């Protein structure tokens, strides 16, 4: 008798659990491809979290984490928690391919923020494309990335052709230069940025241009800078990916007694790795950036407060990442509203995003290619230990 009672109790408990489980399953989110219940929504973050670009990329990751934490605090997406997964490519395209394969193979992954480097984004486009996995880059600016017909690739930053033209305008109209030297690294972003700027400068009537190449991480730019010195330019546009190289560049430029104005890229907008590392040489130098001064935008105050409390100061790569993650999660949420979700649906919902008002100070709408509609470039000057926004160019 006792045995029978025990059996009955256990059996009824089991029935209880099983039916409870089925109940949740019926109410929860279902993946359209596998028909399985979605237990967790993974979002990837592909970037160079080790290597010379580690500090901007960690800012990207941490900013996206702020967005994920906010969504999870609100209960996730349709009651399902979001997991933010790091994929480190160490600034190596070969490594990035492994990251892309890993992300695509993750059945519960519905979108990726990144990769932020053009040459790395280029290497992974096809893999993410074949996996229909939405990617929103926060910094990759090579135009051709969105010209190859891939539907899954979006960006919340302007393209190089916009930046190049804006930089040319800045060099001519703001810096009043007549002779320009351009040094660029031999990677996709830098080569492209250089050619777009040269194109813009020529259009503006500046024909006196010296263009030379540099190797990232070589630590000694004095031979090529000596050549620049003999050219006597008004402006030296130093197009490198990471801040440490530009800190060396500006330091060796001053050391050689070159009188030109140093103009660096968005990668140099880093207080520690550029201003501090240049040991005073960066004073008065200019950099351009795809993002505005985040401290001047009221809507961004909440993000800034949360980020700085947990991770320290923001250099400029974080805000677009926070925005990108929020847009991605909004699209995933829109796709999940009907209780079913698929990667393709997420991509479709991203294309439907119109006038998303986030923290960047301008509404985000993607065009057919996945590019941002209306592109601005922001210019900063090094004053003391900080960057001061001095100009905004919007192609005019």
Residues that bind another protein in the complex, under the rule CB under 8 A:
50-52, 54-55, 90, 186, 212-215, 217-220, 222-224, 226-227, 229-231, 244, 247-248, 251-252, 255-257, 273, 276-277, 279-280
Distance CA 373, CA 381 (A): 27
Q: Please report how close the Cβ of residue 279 comes to another protein at its closest, in angstroms.
A: 5
Q: Please report how close the Cβ of residue 89 comes to another protein at its closest, in angstroms.
A: 12
Q: Exposed/middle/buried for 83, CB within 10 Å: 0-12, 13-18, 19+?
A: middle
Nearer to another protein, 155 or 229 (CB): 229
Nearer to another protein, 274 or 307 (CB): 274
- DSSP type of residue 34: T
Nearer to another protein, 49 or 150 (CB): 49
Q: What does the H/E/C string look like for 203-255?
A: HCCCCEEEEEEECCCCCCCHHHHHHHHHHCCCEEEEECCCHHHHHHHHHHHHH
Nearer to another protein, 38 or 285 (CB): 285
Q: Please report how close the Cβ of residue 348 comes to another protein at its closest, in angstroms.
A: 38
Distance CA 236, CA 180 (A): 6
Nearer to another protein, 50 or 132 (CB): 50
The H or E element spanning position 127 is helix 118-130
The label of the residue with tokens 């519960």 reads 108
Q: Please report how close the Cβ of residue 86 comes to another protein at its closest, in angstroms.
A: 15
Q: Please report how close the Cβ of residue 49 comes to another protein at its closest, in angstroms.
A: 9
Handedness of CA 321, 326, 327, 328 (dihedral sign): positive
DSSP result, 171-195: IIIIS--SEEEEEEESSHHHHHHHH
Nearer to another protein, 53 or 376 (CB): 53
DSSP result, 261-285: EEEE-GGG--IIIIIITTTTTTTT-
Say if residue 278 is preceded by a cis peptide, omega within 30 of 0: no
User: E-strand spans in the chain?
Assistant: 30-31, 41-47, 82-88, 109-113, 135-137, 153-155, 179-185, 208-214, 235-239, 261-264, 286-289, 340-341, 377-383, 386-393
Q: Please report how close the Cβ of residue 211 comes to another protein at its closest, in angstroms.
A: 9
Q: Please report how close the Cβ of residue 213 comes to another protein at its closest, in angstroms.
A: 4
- The conformational region for residue 322 under phi > 0 = left, psi -120 to 50 = alpha, else beta, is alpha
Contact 67, 116 (CB under 8 A): no
Q: Please report how close the Cβ of residue 223 comes to another protein at its closest, in angstroms.
A: 4
Nearer to another protein, 28 or 217 (CB): 217
Which tokens sit at 229? 């010195």
Q: Please report how close the Cβ of residue 231 comes to another protein at its closest, in angstroms.
A: 8
Nearer to another protein, 76 or 264 (CB): 264
Nearer to another protein, 100 or 253 (CB): 253
Contact 52, 91 (CB under 8 A): yes
Q: Please report how close the Cβ of residue 282 comes to another protein at its closest, in angstroms.
A: 13
Nearer to another protein, 211 or 342 (CB): 211
- DSSP type of residue 77: B
Cβ-based neighbour number of residue 251 at 10 Å: 18
Contact 209, 201 (CB under 8 A): yes
């Amino acid at each position: 008798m006792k045995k029978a009672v025990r059996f009955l109790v256990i059996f009824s408990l089991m029935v209880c659990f099983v039916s409870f489980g089925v109940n949740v399953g019926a109410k929860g989110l279902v993946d359209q491809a596998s028909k399985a219940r979605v237990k967790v929504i993974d979002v990837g973050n592909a970037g160079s979290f080790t290597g010379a670009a580690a500090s901007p990329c960690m800012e990207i990751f941490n900013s996206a984490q702020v967005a994920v934490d906010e969504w999870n605090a609100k209960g996730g997406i349709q009651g399902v928690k979001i997991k933010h997964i790091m994929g480190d490519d160490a600034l190596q395209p070969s490594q990035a391919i492994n990251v892309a394969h890993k992300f695509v193979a993750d059945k519960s992954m519905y979108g990726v923020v990144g990769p932020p480097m053009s040459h790395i984004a280029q290497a992974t486009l096809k893999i993410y494309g074949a996996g229909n996995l939405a990617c929103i880059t926060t910094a990759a600016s090579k135009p051709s990335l969105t010209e190859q017909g891939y539907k899954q690739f979006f960006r919340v930053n302007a393209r190089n052709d916009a930046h190049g033209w804006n930089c040319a305008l800045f060099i001519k109209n703001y810096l009043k230069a007549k002779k320009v030297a351009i040094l660029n690294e031999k990677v996709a972003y830098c080569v492209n940025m250089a050619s777009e700027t040269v194109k813009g400068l020529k259009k503006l009537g500046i024909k006196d241009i010296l263009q030379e190449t540099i190797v990232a991480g070589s630590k000694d730019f004095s031979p090529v800078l000596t050549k620049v010195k003999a050219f006597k330019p008004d402006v030296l546009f130093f197009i490198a990916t990471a801040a440490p190289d530009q800190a060396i560049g500006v330091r060796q430029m001053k050391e050689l007694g070159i009188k030109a104005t140093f103009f660096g890229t968005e990668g140099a907008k880093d207080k520690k790795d550029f201003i501090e590392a240049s040991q005073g040489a960066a004073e008065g130098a200019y950099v351009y950036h795809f993002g505005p001064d985040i401290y001047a935008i009221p809507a961004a105050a909440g993000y800034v407060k949360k980020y700085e409390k947990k991770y320290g100061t923001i250099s400029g790569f974080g805000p677009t990442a926070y925005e990108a993650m929020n847009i991605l999660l909004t699209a995933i949420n829109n796709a999940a509203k009907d209780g079913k979700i698929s990667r393709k649906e997420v991509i479709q919902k991203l294309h439907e995003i119109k006038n998303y008002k986030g923290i960047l100070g301008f509404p985000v709408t993607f065009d057919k290619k996945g590019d941002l509609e209306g592109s601005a470039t922001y210019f900063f000057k090094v004053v003391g230990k900080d960057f001061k926004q001095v100009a905004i160019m919007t192609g005019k």
